[in-house]
Amino acid sequence: MPIYEYLCRDCGRKSTHLVLRPEGFEPTCRHCGGRNMKRLISRVAFLRSEEERLERLADPDRWGDLDERDPRSFAKWMKEVGKELGEDVSDEVDQIVEEALEGEGGEGDEES
């Protein structure tokens, strides 16, 4: 499949495009509409059935180091789940982790 990934230099997010005819194709950011795009080298993908992906997620050996009280550990887990389900959640998870860490700092300041 001719699927290409591009990084928007304006907003910093990735966009994926199915390109059937590469000649004359000019990518546009799906997030901000920007045209200042850089083509990325994509990872090789291989297909797994939904059942196989869910079995991998349910394997307790994969999550032995998960500490649900640690935002960074939880973020790592969320990113892995996103990868298994074929979703790029990195930006959203990073933002949530930053907000959680700020919230912990804010609560600690009020208590002192």
Q: Is the model's pLDDT at 107 over the cut of 50?
A: no
Mean pLDDT taken over the chain = 78
pLDDT of residue 73: 78
pLDDT of residue 104: 66
**DSSP secondary structure, 7-23, as one string:** EETTT--EEEEE-S--T
One-letter identity of residue 101:
L
pLDDT of residue 34: 94
pLDDT tens digits for range 8-63: 999 999 998 888 888 888 999 999 999 999 999 877 666 778 788 778 777 777 77
Sheet of 37-40, strands arranged across: 14-18, 3-8, 37-40
Two tokens, residue 41: 């080298």
Q: Is the model's pLDDT at 97 over the cut of 90?
A: no
**What length does the chain have?**
112
Say if residues 2 and 18 touch (Cβ distance below 8 Å): yes
Question: For the chain, what are the domain ranges?
Answer: 3-40, 50-111
**Residue that is written with structure tokens 């950011």 in the block:** 29
pLDDT of residue 58: 75
* End-to-end Cα separation, the chain, in angstroms: 57
Q: What is the DSSP letter of 9?
A: T
